[in-house]
C-alpha cells in the first residue's frame, strides 16, 4: 500500500501562479475563469449544433403543422434522444399545440424546452454524503468511459464540500489505471491505497480499513473496466461489492456508473447490465463536450431513470459538476427559452 500526497507547488495550477514576467516583457493578464454556465454551453456545443441546427430552421417558421412536427421528430432522433423519449416529447407537444393554441415556431421552441425539462427533472438528485464514516462510493464503468478521471474530479468536488477523501485503486489489472489514480491523488493531495496486481476486492477492503483508522469521510473505490457481455468479469466486480459490505455492513453507500456520452443509445444497455450486477444508485455522464449525442440524457430519463449525479463537459478538474436539468436544457438552446404557458 502506498499513500501519495501532492507536494506544495507541484500542480499545474501552482506552476502557473508562480510564473512571473521577464524583464522587458509585459506581465500576462490571466484570462478570467469561465462560469459553469459558460462551460456547460461550450461543452454542449456539438449537441446543440446537431439539435439546434435543425431546430433553428424549424422554429423560424411562422406556422406550426404536422410536417414541422415530423421534422422535429427526426431532429430529436438524430441527437440520440431515443425513440421512447422522442415519442413522449412529440405527444406532449401535440397536446400543447392544440390545447394552448400555439402558432409560432418560437412558442413551439419554448414548449419543447418546458417538456424536455419536465422529462429530465427527475434525474436531478444531487449526491448526498450521509453520516456513515467512511461513506463508501463504488465507481464502475467500461474501459475508456472516463471512470478513473471522473474519480479524480469527484475527489476534488468532495473536497470543495469540506470532505476528506481517500482513493482505492481497485483496478489492479491495468497498471496505467493505477498510475493515473495515483496522479490524481497527488493533484488533489489525497491518499491512494494501491498495490501492483493482486485482488481488487482486497485493495478496496484495505482502503476502507485505512479510512476508518484515519477518520476519512469518503472512500472512492475504483474498479476494473468491464464490458456488460463479459459475465465472468461482471461477477468479479460483484465480488468487490460483497467485500465492501463485509468491511462495512451498511456499504457501499453509493454505486456510480460512469457512461461515455459518445456511445449514445448503448448507454442504456450498460445501465441495465451493471444495475443487474451491482445495483446502480447514480450515474455520471462524461465527454458531453466531444459528442453530438447529448440527447442520450433524455433517453436515460425515459428508459433507465437512475439519478444523474454529475455530468462532465471538459478536461479541467472543475469540469465535472452536479447535473441541473434547467441549466442543461437552457444550454442546449443556448439561451433559456421563455415559458410557452
**What would the mean pLDDT of 71-92 be, rounded to a whole number?**
92
Q: What's the predicted TM-score (pTM) here?
A: 0.86
Write down the pLDDT at residue 5.
Answer: 38
Contacts 24+ apart (CB under 8 A), 77-81: 78/50, 78/51, 78/54, 79/47, 79/50, 79/51, 79/292, 79/293, 79/294, 79/295, 80/264, 80/265, 80/292, 80/293, 80/294, 80/295, 80/296, 80/299, 81/295, 81/296, 81/298, 81/299
More confident residue, 41 or 139: 139
Residue 250 has pLDDT above 70, yes or no: yes
Greatest mean pLDDT among 1-5, 131-135, 234-238 lies in 131-135
- pLDDT tens figures, 263-309: 999 999 999 999 999 999 999 999 998 888 889 999 999 999 999 99
Can you give 95-142 as a three-state secondary structure string?
A: HHHHHCCCCCHHHHHHHHHHHHHHHHHHHCCCCCCCCCCCEEEEEECC
Quickly state the pLDDT bin for 174 (edges 50, 70, 90).
confident
Amino acid at each position: 500500500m502506498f499513500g501519495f500526497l501532492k507536494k506544495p507547488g507541484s500542480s499545474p495550477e501552482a506552476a502557473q501562479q508562480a510564473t512571473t514576467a521577464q524583464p522587458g516583457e509585459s506581465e500576462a493578464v490571466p484570462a478570467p475563469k469561465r462560469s459553469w454556465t459558460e462551460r456547460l454551453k461550450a461543452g454542449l456545443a456539438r449537441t446543440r449544433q446537431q439539435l439546434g441546427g435543425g431546430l433553428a430552421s424549424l422554429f423560424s417558421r411562422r406556422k406550426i403543422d404536422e410536417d414541422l412536427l415530423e421534422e422535429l421528430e427526426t431532429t430529436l432522433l438524430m441527437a440520440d434522444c431515443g425513440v421512447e423519449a422522442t415519442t413522449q416529447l412529440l405527444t406532449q407537444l401535440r397536446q400543447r399545440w392544440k390545447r394552448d393554441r400555439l402558432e409560432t415556431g418560437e412558442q413551439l421552441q419554448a414548449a419543447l424546452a418546458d417538456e424536455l425539462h419536465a422529462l429530465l427533472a427527475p434525474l436531478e438528485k444531487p449526491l448526498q454524503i450521509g453520516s456513515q464514516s467512511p461513506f463508501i462510493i463504488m465507481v464502475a464503468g467500461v474501459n475508456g468511459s472516463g471512470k478513473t478521471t471522473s474519480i479524480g474530479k469527484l475527489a476534488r468536488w468532495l473536497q470543495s464540500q469540506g470532505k476528506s477523501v481517500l482513493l482505492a485503486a481497485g483496478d489492479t489489472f491495468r497498471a496505467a489505471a493505477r498510475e493515473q489514480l495515483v496522479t490524481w491523488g497527488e493533484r488533489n493531495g489525497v491518499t491512494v491505497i494501491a498495490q501492483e496486481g493482486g485482488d481488487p476486492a482486497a485493495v478496496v477492503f484495505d482502503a476502507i480499513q485505512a479510512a476508518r483508522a484515519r477518520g476519512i469521510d469518503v472512500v472512492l473505490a475504483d474498479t476494473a473496466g468491464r464490458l456488460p457481455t463479459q459475465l465472468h468479469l461482471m461477477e468479479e466486480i460483484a465480488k468487490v461489492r460483497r467485500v465492501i459490505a463485509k468491511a462495512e455492513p451498511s456499504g457501499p453507500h453509493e454505486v456510480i456508473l460512469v457512461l461515455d456520452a459518445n456511445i449514445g443509445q448503448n448507454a442504456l444497455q450498460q445501465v441495465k447490465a451493471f444495475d443487474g450486477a451491482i445495483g446502480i444508485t447514480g450515474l455520471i455522464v462524461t465527454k458531453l463536450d466531444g459528442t453530438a449525442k447529448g440527447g442520450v440524457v433524455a433517453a436515460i430519463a425515459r428508459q433507465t431513470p437512475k439519478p444523474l449525479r454529475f455530468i462532465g463537459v471538459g478536461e479541467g478538474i472543475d469540469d465535472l459538476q452536479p447535473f441541473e436539468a434547467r441549466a442543461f436544457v437552457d444550454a442546449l438552446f443556448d439561451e433559456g427559452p421563455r415559458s410557452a404557458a
